[in-house]
Amino acid sequence: MLLSSLLLAEVVVLQSGQSVKGDIVLQNEDVVIIRATNGMRYQYPMNEVVSIKAEEKDTSATNTNKTTQAKTKIVSICVQAMGGALYIPNIGWGGYAGADLKVGANILEGRRVFVGGGIGYRAKVMEIDTYSFIPLQVYISSILGDKQSAPTLGVNIGYGFAANAGTQGGICVGADVGWSFEISHETRLVLGLNAEWQQAQTKVKQDITFPKTNETKSYENYMGVNFITFGAKVAIHF
């Protein structure tokens, strides 16, 4: 029995035509849970299951499959968009919108942790002006759990390059929480909330009048500004 369980794998066939191969973790009258060959767990209602059958594992191709999977499935691309409120201390409130393209790797068991880097764009809109930044950042995010839908946590840090004349960029740091939904074996949709801090310096003009000569001169200096944003995001992981 032990030898046969090692050499056989279950295949769950669904009404949609999809089939998932792996090891059955739980099966009852209402639900079946299977651990697929990619390490992920999938749960399906029994009324969506057409059949469950056993197939012989291809042990000769195991190492090849693992190598191919490591090469083809470990790489991940994420595209995300965000928007919400902007606050600049001692200045006031505004709004912001942005987008990111991230490329990295899904690591650890079940590839539930994403580590990578990316480039983005941020438009921070105030009544007096609009400030634009192009951040280059390192990202780390994790899916908490092994279900098809699960909570997520993420952090990012990098440098935001200013795209406006008269503005200098600086360090940017962010964090997000959300919920991940599996669309397919290779695609996930993430909805969540995020917050980010962008350090920058903006050029300010100051007029100084000298009492003795009654002469006025203009001076330009850079003033430190902190852009604090928080809002919602939507992301797709491939």
Q: CA separation (Å) from 154 to 35, 103, 192?
A: 25, 15, 10
Q: What is the Cα–Cα distance from 115 to 140, expressed in whole angstroms? A: 5
Q: What is the pLDDT of residue 233?
A: 96
As a three-state string, the secondary structure of 20-84 is EEEEEEEECCCEEEEEECCCCEEEEEHHHEEEEEEEECCHHHHHHHHHHHHHHCCEEEEEEEEEE
Taking only the tens place, the pLDDT of each residue in 136-158 is 999 999 988 777 788 999 999 99
Tokens 């480039």 appear where? 119
Alpha helix (H) residue ranges in 125-209: none
* CA 222 – CA 106 distance, rounded (Å): 41
Residues in the chain where the model's pLDDT stays below 50: 1-6, 60-72
pLDDT score at 211: 72
Distance CA 130, CA 142 (A): 33
At residue 1, the pLDDT reads 41
pLDDT at 84: 96
Place of tokens 């769950």: 12
For residue 110, the model assigns a pLDDT of 58
Tokens of 211: 């009492």
Neighbouring CB atoms inside 10 A of 187's CB total 11
Residues 6+ apart with CB under 8 A from 206: 218, 219, 220, 221
Q: What is the pLDDT of residue 65?
A: 46
Q: Hey, which bits of the chain come out as E strands?
A: 8-14, 19-27, 31-36, 41-45, 49-56, 75-88, 92-107, 113-125, 130-143, 149-162, 167-168, 170-184, 187-210, 215-237
Could you give all domains of the chain from N- to C-terminal order, each with its CATH number?
2-57 (2.30.30.520), 75-237 (2.40.160.20)
pLDDT at 69: 42
pLDDT of residue 64: 44
pLDDT value of position 111: 61
Distance (Å, whole) CA 157 – CA 162: 16
- Confirm whether pTM is higher than 0.85: no
Give the residue carrying structure tokens 């089939």. Answer: 19
| Contact (Cβ atoms closer than 8 angstroms) between residue 179 and residue 150 | yes
